């Protein structure tokens, strides 16, 4: 499966470039203000203790951690597309004319 996806990514560079842009935007959206919200959530726990769990702070903390991992996934996909495009542009092989 990986070889098939790699072959498609190298063959259709324009689609890889388009996906790279989408993953970049998704990474930006999911990571926007993430650290500030996570710090505020942790400060809430430190200031008020475990009574904030009843107010939904635990659910918010789990959601923020989930957004962090989702953001990481989008970043890895962006870097994968970048690697494919850089390797294609810098390879010594000439495309078939």
Q: Is residue 97 part of a domain?
A: no
> Which tens digits make up the pLDDT trace of 30-87?
898 898 999 999 999 999 988 898 888 999 999 999 999 999 999 999 999 999 999 8
Q: What is the pLDDT of residue 97?
A: 40
Concatenated DSSP letters of the chain: -HHHHHHHHHH-HHHHHHHHHHHHHHHHHHHTTHHHHHHHHHHHHHHHGGGGGTTTHHHHHHHHHHHHHHHHHHHHHHHHHHHHHHHHHH-SPPPP-
Q: Is residue 55 part of a domain?
A: yes
Domain boundaries, position 13: 2-90
Q: Is residue 37 part of a domain?
A: yes
0.85 surpassed by pTM: no
Average confidence (pLDDT) over 11-36: 90
Quote the number of domains for the chain: 1
């Amino acid at each position: 499966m990986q070889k098939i996806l790699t072959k498609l990514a190298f063959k259709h560079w324009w689609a890889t470039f388009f996906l790279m842009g989408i993953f970049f935007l998704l990474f930006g959206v999911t990571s926007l203000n993430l650290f500030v919200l996570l710090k505020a959530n942790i400060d809430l726990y430190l200031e008020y203790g475990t009574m904030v769990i009843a107010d939904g702070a635990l659910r918010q903390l789990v959601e923020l951690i989930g957004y962090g991992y989702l953001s990481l996934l989008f970043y890895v996909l962006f870097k994968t597309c970048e690697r494919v495009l850089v390797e294609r542009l810098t390879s010594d092989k000439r495309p078939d004319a």
